[in-house]
Amino acid sequence: MTVVADSAGFQYAPPKAARGARRIIVKPNLGYPTPAPATVGLAALREVLVGLRRVAPRAEIILLEGVCVKVSFAEVMARLGVTQLLAELDDPAIRLLDADTLPSKPYPNRSPAPERFAEMRAPALLEEADCRLSVAAFKRTTLKERPLLSASIKNLYGLFPRAVYRARSPHARGQLHVPDVQRILVDAYFTLGLLFEGAVVDVTRKFVSRDWQPDVGAAVPVGKIVAGDDLLAVDLRAAELAGEPLSDYFQTIAARR
């Protein structure tokens, strides 16, 4: 089920997998030291954490992200205000971890026709959680003259270790753009996306880039937040609310499910 709420009145209702969970992983879209809407809004992230704690009072809640800039993970989190947010929540069972520093393992690609990767490496910790959530901003960039929408599925990129998927730059995951990011996103969905029990996409303001840059652009008010238990369905609804044309990878995923 997919739910749309006004941003001002958003109250998060977690999926069934979160209820009474012992460990929950939240993958927030926080890969750049640039505030919302280039990254997910802290108000939306706070409400997700509060909602999770409401239904899972004893859970360990792990915020798991991997940055994609030269700036250190700790500095990015401090600049975005995430460190301060966790201090305000004052909940020792909510932890912030850098995905690039964790042991990784291969996850099989369950697509009937993998685009490039038969398996992809990501933190082994993902398999040790009772519930996994992608909490994303909504963004549009342009690659190869085609719109590339970034929401809960694209948000998964931060889980793939840079040491494995780097290309020319050690700070990015260049291998995940070869031969075409829209094709690799299909592989990302069928390796990690199928593991996730829920998604939240913050469309309070959509981020619109004039080119490929995911952290340089304009903010356009939309005033909505979309939540649900299916990443593709949440992303499609967010795109509809934002008035954006669908990216190719959405149709490919839908056709192969």
What is the per-residue pLDDT for 168? Answer: 86
Q: Quick one: average pLDDT of 198-215?
A: 92
What is the per-residue pLDDT for 146? Answer: 87
Q: Quick one: average pLDDT of 158-185?
A: 93
What is the per-residue pLDDT for 255? Answer: 96
Rounded distance between C-alpha atoms, residue 100 and residue 235, angstroms: 25
Residue 85 belongs to what H/E stretch? Answer: helix 82-89
Q: What is the DSSP string of 104-147?
A: EEEEE---SS-SS-SEEEEEGGGGG-SEEEEEEEEEEEEETTEE
Indicate if the pLDDT at residue 243 is higher than 80: yes
Indicate if the pLDDT at residue 134 is higher than 90: yes
Indicate if the pLDDT at residue 214 is higher than 80: no
Contact 40, 29 (CB under 8 A): yes
Contact 121, 189 (CB under 8 A): no
Q: Taking the domains of the chain in order of start, what are their residue ranges?
A: 2-138+149-204+220-256
Q: Quick one: average pLDDT of 171-190?
A: 94
Q: Quick one: average pLDDT of 186-207?
A: 98
Q: Quick one: average pLDDT of 11-28?
A: 98
What is the per-residue pLDDT for 210? Answer: 85
Nearest to 194 by CA among 105, 99, 110: 110
What is the per-residue pLDDT for 94? Answer: 98
- Burial pattern 135-172, b for ≥16 Cβ within 10 A else e, equals bbbbbbbeeeeebbbbbbbbbbbbbbbbeebeeeeeeb
Indicate if the pLDDT at residue 9 is higher than 80: yes
Rounded distance between C-alpha atoms, residue 251 and residue 229, angstroms: 19
Q: Taking all residues of the chain, what is their mean pLDDT, rounded to a whole number?
A: 96
Indicate if the pLDDT at residue 233 is higher than 80: yes
pTM (2 d.p.): 0.96
pLDDT band at 213 (very low <50, low <70, confident <90, very high): confident
Contact 249, 185 (CB under 8 A): yes
- Burial pattern 105-122, b for ≥16 Cβ within 10 A else e, equals eebebebeebbebeebbb
pLDDT band at 172 (very low <50, low <70, confident <90, very high): confident
Q: Which residue has the higher pLDDT, 116 or 174?
A: 116
* Range scoring the smallest mean pLDDT among 25-34, 142-151, 185-194: 142-151
Nearest to 204 by CA among 221, 185, 217, 181: 221
What is the per-residue pLDDT for 232? Answer: 98
Class of domain 2-138+149-204+220-256: alpha beta
Nearby residues of 92 by Cβ (< 8 Å), 6 or more positions away? none
